[in-house]
Copies of this chain bind each other. A is one copy, B any other.
């Protein structure tokens, strides 16, 4: 049953993804994953020998999926400002559908920083801003951005997009008292963050 086979493995993988993202590596229980997938715990170990192996598979898949969302911006033929607006719209929309990913990834990275190096090799994520800088060298004359400050800019953009989700618990707690829902806050953020960055870098 290659068909059923795939189904089982996929069900396991999806269950594992949900549980790991929700509880983290340390908090996740193999039994939970098995129950969630509607199978026996031994079958988990049949498909993925150990918890570590299962976790690594899940983590790499998620990290790849997330980092990939950063990439398409660089292929589009757009001005910097258009790219910035495009990025915030797309990336925040992605996070709206996967709101727990930021917290999960940041946490697991801190728990095991070594994993990142492997990840960054598999996905070629290096010198990403250099490419961007080359693409817009002429255009950047009108902006307060040099090659040196590109990393600062990139991290800032990532921060503005990712942080609200990573700190959702805090933000919700505070916004509540201003009776402003988190969803509305995020929806408004797509435009706010984009304009914020563009204003910030303009000469």
Interface residues of A, Cβ cutoff 8 Å to B: 23-24, 26-27, 100, 103, 106-107, 109-111, 113, 116-117, 119-120, 125-128, 130, 144, 149, 151-152, 155-156, 158-160, 162-164, 166-175, 177-178, 180, 185, 188-189, 192-193, 196-197, 199-202
A60–B154 alpha-carbon span in the complex (Å): 33
B111 near A149 with CB under 8 A, answer no
Q: Please pick, from B100, B127, B152, the residue contacting A110 in the complex, using a CB distance under 8 A.
A: B100
Q: Of B163, B175, B180, B199, which one neighbours A159 at CB under 8 angstroms?
A: B163
* Shortest beta-carbon distance from A106 to chain B in Å: 5
Closest to A168 in B: B110
Query: Given A174-B120, A193-B156, A200-B196, is A109 in contact with B169 using a C-beta cutoff of 8 Å?
Result: yes
Quick check: B113 and A24 within 8 Å, CB to CB?
A: no
In contact, A155 and B164 (Cβ under 8 angstroms): yes
Q: In the complex, what residues of B have CB within 8 A of residue A174's CB?
A: 120, 125-126, 128, 151
Smallest CB–CB gap between A20 and chain B, Å? 12
Once A26-B24, A197-B200 are accepted as A-B contacts, the answer to whether A127 and B160 lie under 8 Å apart by CB is no
Q: Which residues of B contact A196 (CB under 8 A)?
A: 152, 156, 200-201
